[in-house]
Homo-oligomer: A and B are copies of this chain.
Amino acid sequence: MPTFLDDLPPTPARPPDSHKGTFGRVLIVAGSRGMSGAACLSGLGALRGGAGLVDVATPASLQPLIASFEPSWLTFPLPEDAHGRLDGSAFSLIADRWESVSAVAMGPGWSVTDNTRSLARLMIEQCPRPMVIDADGLTALVDQADAWRKSPAARVVTPHPGEFGRMRGVDAKVIQADRVEHATEFAREHGVIVVLKGHGTVVTDGERIVINSTGNPGMATGGTGDVLTGLTGALLAQKMAPFDAARLAVYLHGLAGDLAAKELSQPGLIASDLPSFLGPAWLKLQELRGRAGG
């Protein structure tokens, strides 16, 4: 682990005269009826990741629920279909909003519909901010992989092996048999940063490759990925280089899970515990670096 610590990028500086603008603003586009928790977990990941401001944009009927969950974020209602999923007309509102943010996170809890498929494509192709894409946001793009190359800014994708299999048009088992190869190839081919989740998460930009050393099987529970999405968004918003943001996010997320498992056990750990352990994870990272003389 000391070796790995040496590899980790420095954490964003916190100069004494910082203000909330210093740490950027993240726009999270997430959630649908029945999956509103994904928006909450992403939002908490972004807040605990140190973003200066977090906007959680969701289908309009979920807004009160999400607003009541945490007062530290702003909420933003988007047009929805009859099932509480994003409507295509949400795009122009999202595009207005991203003008005032420094990074975007999208996909958690979206559901996959024609609307979200075209929304995902438009966002990838037009958003001028660095963006992390996860979950249904990735599935929505399965047949539109040409979109990635049109991105005007950095894109970080965070699939689990099942999602990555769909993105690569192969079975998850094929992915798992050669995780590094698949991740690297996709990254190179589409010009994105790939975070391939699972045991030994792979982070790659097609050239550099990192295998994460933190995390445990207790994190194999619904919603932990949503926290990572928000956390990655927060580090992008703090102007970290996208590859650095991705590997630091993955490291901290796993470390939070390891600290959580110590207090709550692996089976007893749930996704909503992770944000509470992100603060201690930041402290632990400082301590580990201090010890390593870093």
A residues near B, CB below 8 A? 11-12, 14-23, 33-41, 44, 47-54, 62-65, 67-77, 160-162, 176, 198-199, 216-218, 220-223, 263-272, 278-283, 286
A28, B90: Cα distance in complex, Å: 33
Q: A20-B222, A72-B223, A161-B19 are in contact. Are A34 and B67 (CB under 8 A)?
A: yes
Contact of A71 with B14 in the complex, beta carbons under 8 Å: no
Chain B neighbourhood of A75, CB < 8 A: 34, 36
A131, B142: Cα distance in complex, Å: 36
Cβ contacts A to B, 14 pairs, < 8 Å: A14-B218, A17-B199, A20-B222, A22-B220, A33-B63, A34-B74, A36-B68, A40-B71, A47-B221, A70-B272, A71-B272, A264-B282, A265-B280, A268-B280
Most buried by B among A70, A74, A267: A267
Q: A71-B36, A71-B272, A272-B71 are in contact. Are A221 and B53 (CB under 8 A)?
A: yes
- When all copies of this chain in the complex are counted, the total is 4
Q: A37-B70, A65-B67, A217-B18 are in contact. Are A268 and B279 (CB under 8 A)?
A: yes
Contact of B74 with A11 in the complex, beta carbons under 8 Å: no
Q: A14-B218, A54-B222, A279-B263 are in contact. Are A272 and B72 (CB under 8 A)?
A: yes
Chain B neighbourhood of A199, CB < 8 A: 16-18
Contact of B49 with A267 in the complex, beta carbons under 8 Å: yes
Q: A34-B77, A40-B71, A74-B37 are in contact. Are A20 and B279 (CB under 8 A)?
A: no
Within the complex, which residue of B72, B266, B286 is in contact with A270, where a contact is CB–CB below 8 Å? B72
Q: A38-B71, A72-B270, A160-B19 are in contact. Are A221 and B52 (CB under 8 A)?
A: yes
A14, B216: Cα distance in complex, Å: 9
Q: Name the distance in Å between A45's Cβ and chain B's nearest Cβ.
A: 11
Chain B neighbourhood of A220, CB < 8 A: 14, 18-20, 22-23, 52
Within the complex, which residue of B12, B72, B223, B263 is in contact with A41, where a contact is CB–CB below 8 Å? B72
A268, B282: Cα distance in complex, Å: 7
Chain B neighbourhood of A198, CB < 8 A: 17, 19
Q: A18-B217, A71-B41, A221-B51 are in contact. Are A33 and B77 (CB under 8 A)?
A: yes
Contact of B222 with A53 in the complex, beta carbons under 8 Å: yes
Q: Name the distance in Å between A83's Cβ and chain B's nearest Cβ.
A: 10
Contact of B222 with A50 in the complex, beta carbons under 8 Å: no
Return the 3 tightest CB-CB contacts between A and B, nearest first: A50-B267, A268-B279, A37-B71
